[in-house]
Amino acid sequence: MKFTCNRELLSDALNKVTRAVSPRSTIAALEGIYFRTEECSLYICGYNLELGISTKILANIYEEGSIVLSNKLFCEIVRKMPGDELEITCGENFITTIKSSEAEYSIIGISPSDFPELPVIEGDRRISVSQGMLKSMIGQTIFAVSDNDTRPTCTGSLFEVSEDKIRIVSVDGFRLAIRTEPITGTVKMSFIVPKRTLEEVSRLLEDDEEKRVEICATRRHIEFVINGCVIISRLIEGEFLDYHNAIPQNTTTEVRVNTRRMIEATERMNLLISDAIKSPVRCIFGNDMVQFQCRTAIGAATDRLSAEAPNEPIEIGFNNRYLMDAFRAVSTDEVRLVLGTPVTPVKVLPLEGEHFLFLLLPVRLQKD
């Protein structure tokens, strides 16, 4: 195998696929990056058996072939090479030479036959959505994905696709995040995408409503095609939590608050809270204001901000981090908080409609 390519193009492609390379594996090839020449392009792939990322770059192909090269070593060599053009040659016993300007390296590669094939994603369960929209939807829901493996289906986000809308749902047992957007001409399907996959997809997506991302799902795998880059991931199997029953229906008290001011007030309460020193943030909604109180072993803090709130005060306790995560995910300047009792989950909604919905489980407060 022999080819030349632009160093910056190669480096950019490596930065994408390297995120799917296994740092440690019993299969040596999985710790490397797979390269294969294809006519006028170079195919590059990283795969850890759960997640695969591949892309192609333009290259001048002189001899066809394939090779697996050490991820960390090869990426560092490419990054430090002096010239703009690289010449890469793979000879006998997988000895690979990398040349650029006056610099030259020879490293030992791995047989490409040791690199497992990525799953083939085919079928009619395929949709196309705006990159900007999907990036926003993931960003507003991923904070509520569980990191606890005791409930595997909660370690990913549920995608629900119907003929006229797409919905992403995340839940971890203490909070719920839902984002819904209208779409047209799609097939009905649902699947659970792992959090790690969504993080990598979000990194590749652009804040552009005109650019599209193609999504194709099978029973066990999903494929995202983003700007020429392909992400293939294993789906999470099992039944997702019945989130509909978790949403309170009889809560009628509404409070209208400024998003930025809620974040700033919570940040001030956070100065007294740490992993070692934990305490709920007390929020008292009433008389057109929200009062904040926090007391820990190192001190006490109070704060207040104006809001459209009922005259009859309602006191609710929150986990400070969960409260902060929810408001940081809000995309509007103001939100509606729909309250019930001090032990009823609180709904966070936009001023109009329900294109996003966050649910916060209160913390039981002890009497002072």
Residue ranges per domain, the chain?
2-114, 126-243, 247-360
Instruction: Quote the pLDDT of residue 346.
Output: 94
Q: Is the model's pLDDT at 202 over the cut of 80? A: yes
Instruction: Quote the pLDDT of residue 243.
Output: 92
Q: Which fold has domain 126-243?
A: DNA Polymerase III; Chain A, domain 2 (3.10.150)
**Residue whose entry in the numeric block shows the structure tokens 């029973």:** 219
111 neighbors 94 (Cβ within 8 angstroms): yes
Q: Does the fold of domain 126-243 match that of domain 2-114?
A: yes
Q: Provide the mean pLDDT of the chain.
A: 93
Q: What average pLDDT score do residues 296-317 get?
A: 92
Gyration radius of the chain over CA positions: 25
Burial (Cβ within 10 Å: 0-12, 13-18, ≥19) of residue 284: middle
CATH 3.40.1280.10 corresponds to the domain 247-360: no
Phi, psi of 155 (to 5 degrees): -90, 10
Instruction: Quote the pLDDT of residue 361.
Output: 92
Cβ within 8 Å of residue 230, ≥6 positions away: 52, 53, 54, 55, 223, 224
198 neighbors 186 (Cβ within 8 angstroms): no
Angle (deg, nearest 10), helices 7-17 and 71-80: 150
Q: Tell me which architecture the domain covering 2-114 has in CATH.
A: Roll (3.10)
- Two structure tokens written together for 251: 């809560």
Instruction: Quote the pLDDT of residue 318.
Output: 95
What are the DSSP E strand ranges found in 102-155? 103-108, 126-130
121 neighbors 216 (Cβ within 8 angstroms): yes
Which H, E and C letters describe 24-75, residue by residue? CCCCHHHHEEEEEEECCEEEEEEECCCEEEEEEEECEEEECCEEEEEHHHHH
| SS3 state at 248 | coil
The 10s digit of each residue's pLDDT in 39-98 is 899 999 999 999 999 999 999 999 999 999 999 999 999 999 999 999 999 988 999 999
pTM (2 d.p.) = 0.92
